[in-house]
Amino acid sequence: MKFSGMTIVSDMDGTLLTEEKTISQKNLDAIRYFRENGGSFTIASGRVYQSVASYYHELCPNLPVISHNGGVITDPKTHTPLYCKLLEGNYRSIAKEIHKRFPWLGIEGFTPSRILFFTDNPYVRKHINDERIFPDNQIEWHSLEEETESWCKILFACEKDKADELEQALPPLYPEYFFVRSDPHYFEMLPPGVNKGTALCELLKICKLSPDKCYALGDNMNDKELLSYAKTGIAVKNASEALKQEADFVLPYTNQEDAIFHLVELIEKGTI
């Protein structure tokens, strides 16, 4: 079969999804065509697993799915976690310290199964709407003082220029954690060594697949390691300039222009 042994791993927001958080019919048709001709397709997202799963009826991924920016890998058939990395140490106290220093921050904690909302602002509300898993925006708010189940990552939400400030300030203060910019408005704290690239490595081991026939797509710097580990790392046209510098190939199509469809077309022609 023409795509036998090949794998496409795609980021969601800004890559596969349109700005309206939908998947174009051309992309869906291309993914189905790729799978039916021997290829494997899956997602690597910063989203919580349940949010990724809300698209399964359209996508039908035939490999385990990466969520939580590489912190969790889940079997989409059984919804069983195959891999999970949790924050360790004093991360709850650190979240409180960061909020005290930057009181304008919106803060969310991601557990393997849900999102805990701690402090509110317009960018947390944007994230709530983007995730599309909260009926009627009925959100349960928590206190940073509250004991909860362990977290996989912390998301800080704010204006772009203030996220720029966080990106400069936080990593030197807390070098025991990994920090990444997942969106112009979101800056995240993860366990050390956890990213989409290390998760892709684990996924391919689990599935006994080679990275040599793996294509990975993304749009932001939380996709950097994903693109680096795949044989061919691809930035969509609307990707950040920093990610384009890291990519093997810049696709001349945006997330609004059926990027996956065009990638499959290029793979089939042997031009990428």
- Would residue 165 count as lying in a domain? yes
- Domain end position, chosen among 190, 216, 244: 190
Domain hosting 45: range is: 7-84+194-269
Residues 161 and 137 in one domain: yes
- What pLDDT is recorded for position 132? 76
Q: What total number of domains does the chain contain?
A: 2
- How many other β-carbons are positioned within 10 Å of the β-carbon of residue 168? 8
* CATH code of 69's domain: 3.40.50.1000
Same domain, 22 and 44: yes
Q: Is residue 1 situated within a structural domain?
A: no
- List per-residue pLDDT tens for the chain, 272 residues long: 999 999 999 999 999 999 999 999 999 999 999 999 999 999 999 999 999 999 999 999 999 999 999 999 999 999 999 999 999 999 999 999 999 999 999 999 999 988 999 999 999 999 998 887 776 667 889 999 998 999 999 999 999 999 999 999 999 999 999 999 999 999 999 999 999 999 999 999 999 998 999 999 999 999 999 999 999 999 999 999 999 999 999 999 999 999 999 999 999 999 99
d(CA 236, CA 243): 9
112, part of any domain: yes
pLDDT at 137: 62
| 63, 96: one domain | no
Bridge partners for 187 per DSSP = 156, 181
For residue 2, being part of any structural domain is answered with no
End-of-domain residue from the set 173, 190, 207: 190
Whether residues 76 and 198 share a domain: the answer is yes
Please give the pLDDT value at position 133: 77
- CA–CA–CA angle 69, 91, 138 (5° rounding): 65
> Is the separation of the CB atoms in 27 and 43 below 8 Å?
no
Predicted model pTM: 0.92
Which of 190, 209, 228 corresponds to the end of one domain?
190
Please indicate, yes or no, whether residues 19 and 44 belong to a single structural domain of this protein.
yes
- Asked whether residue 222 is assigned to any structural domain, the reply reads yes
Are 186 and 205 members of one domain?
A: no
Same structural domain, 211 and 78: yes
Cα distance between residue 177 and residue 270, in whole Å: 40
Looking at the fold, whether 99 and 185 belong to one and the same domain comes out as yes
What is the domain-level CATH number for residue 96? 3.30.1240.10
Residues 211, 164 share a domain: no
**What is the distance between the alpha carbons of residues 238 and 14, in angstroms, rounded to a whole number?**
8
